[in-house]
Amino acid sequence: MLFHSPEFLFAFLPLSLLGYYLLGRLPNKLWAVGWLVAASLFFYGWWNVAFLPMLLISLGLNYLLGIMLVETPRRWLLLAGVAANLAAIGFFKYAGFLVEILNALTAADVPVPHILLPLAISFYTFQQIAYLVDCHEGRIGRPNPIRYAMFITFFPQLIAGPIVHYREIVPQIERDETFRIDQAKLVLGFTVFCFGLFKKIGMADTLAPLAQPLWDLAAGGEAAYLAFAWRGAVAFALQLYFDFSGYSDMAIGLGLMFGILLPFNFDSPYKSQTIIEFWSRWHITLTRFLTAYLYNPITKTVMRRRMERGQPVWNPRKPQVLPFLVMLAFPTLVTMGLAGVWHGAGWQFIVFGLLHGAMLVANHGWRATSAGRARIPAPLSSLLSPVKVLVTFLAVTVSFVFFKSPTLTDALTVVRGLAGMGEHGGYLYLGDTVVVLFGLFIIWALPNTQEWVGLKAHTAPKAPARERARFAAFYWKPSPTHGLMVGAVLCITLLRIFGSPPAEFLYFAF
């Protein structure tokens, strides 16, 4: 069931809200939470009911492990739980790829298994790994089984995130006011949902046909000429952003309609001036997961061992090459390499992750040099900012070629075109170019969704007063202007929905 499908919009969502708020009037709020769990399991099973047992088994085992870790924290038990979760992902997602590698290295002829990937296994597994770590570290108490099930299965974020923590969601559903109808939250959530719907239907699905011909050429071994290649690559970079950030907006909007605030997952990433800034704005909940549960532990382990041996540790004020390579470059490359593998089984995903790792290392290395730390005069900095934004965007666009390509060979063929080494492709129609330029205008000139509706200022009270005032100007208000805007956006998207079959979200593949 897709968020933009008629059965979701006109049947599932209204019935889910109705049952949730009716049961929320009862003294025991667990009835409403249980209703939401049942609705979420129905939503998940709608895709393929065969996936449901895997989700339920994962829920049950991780819940029991969590109780054991809360009562008697044991490191070996935590490691066993994490290993079991990773083994599940490894079997379903990477078994075929590993067999292909084995055959290539040993000239064996082992049949490559074709295993059906359970929907959203990467997302709900990461959430449960974070939950187990929090249980072991004493950050949460003994969980209630129904609330735990709701934390994992909550349908707005179940399929493609945001990746949430137990302590972000469960405290909200422990408060009685969450189950009371809040007209402001309902309308605000509906507004955010509509903007996300427009991003997906109005922008991402419109850009998709402009990007695909570039990869169709690559599948035949043909590299596109320079302009055609860059038009297609930029169109895909925009499609991916509008598709995934549109899903995240819809998830946040749906959460608000149920009285639950989910974390932001995007914050205008294509306005970033460096690759470090990009990863603080793109897929934010994945970045924080990788930082907290992979990058930081690796860095701390390396630092501890170097200190035990009396070796120098990394000091940004007095940078040295070896500590930089060992304590910053190594953890970064490992983390981003595994992030690439998390997205998919294939050499192209490994290259995607390592490419971003290399860019992050280069960015950190530049910052550590005297030139990188030099203070640039304000007038010159203002002039350089658009250049840095453009360079970062183009670098990310090239990396996304590997993300989209079905094989590494196809990705390298597309890159040949981006380097001006191709000669194939079709006409660049003016209308198509206008669509791409309109997408660039949206990402660079307009506020993002949380800025439009004032959520960013509301959830970032530590921001400077000037920033809060700027965002406050976009607060949603119950005014005719805002109503007409939301109504127009909804009409456009509904016309598109009924005019053509809905397309799946790109991140459903991961």
Backbone angles phi, psi at 328, to 5 degrees: -120, -50
Give the separation between CA 429 and CA 210, rounded to whole angstroms: 10
User: Is 267 within 8 Å of 245 (Cβ atoms)?
Assistant: no
Kindly state the DSSP code that residue 8 receives in the 8-state scheme: I
Q: Under DSSP, is residue 424 helix (H, G, I), strand (E, B) or coil?
A: strand
Those residues with Cβ within 8 angstroms of residue 495's Cβ, 6 or more apart along the chain or in another chain: none
What is the SS3 assignment for 381?
helix
Cα–Cα distances (Å) from 105 to 99, 101, 102, 110, 268, in that order, read 10, 6, 5, 12, 43
Q: Which helix (H) or strand (E) holds 46?
A: helix 30-47
Distance CA 247, CA 117 (A): 21
Q: Indicate the DSSP class of residue 508.
A: G
Is residue 236 within 8 A of residue 400, CB to CB? The reply is yes
Structure tokens at 323: 């500590």
Instruction: Name residue 424's beta-bridge partners.
Output: 224
Burial call 370-396: b when 16+ CB within 10 Å, e when fewer: eeeeeeeeeeeeeeeeeeebeebbebb
Catalytic residue numbers read 343
How far apart, in whole angstroms, are the C-alpha atoms of residue 80 and residue 131?
Answer: 14
- 41: number of Cβ within 10 Å: 18
Transcribe 268-311 into DSSP letters. Answer: -GGG-SSHHHHHTTSSHHHHHHHIIIIIHHHHHHHHHHHHHTT-
Question: How far is 127 from 151, CA to CA, in rounded Å?
Answer: 9
The residue written with tokens 């187990």 in the block is 132
Pairwise CA distance, residues 95 & 98, whole Å: 5
Q: Are 12 and 1 in contact (CB under 8 A)?
A: yes
Separation between Cα atoms, residue 296 and residue 307, nearest integer Å: 16
- How far is the C-alpha of 125 from the C-alpha of 84, rounded, in Å? 10
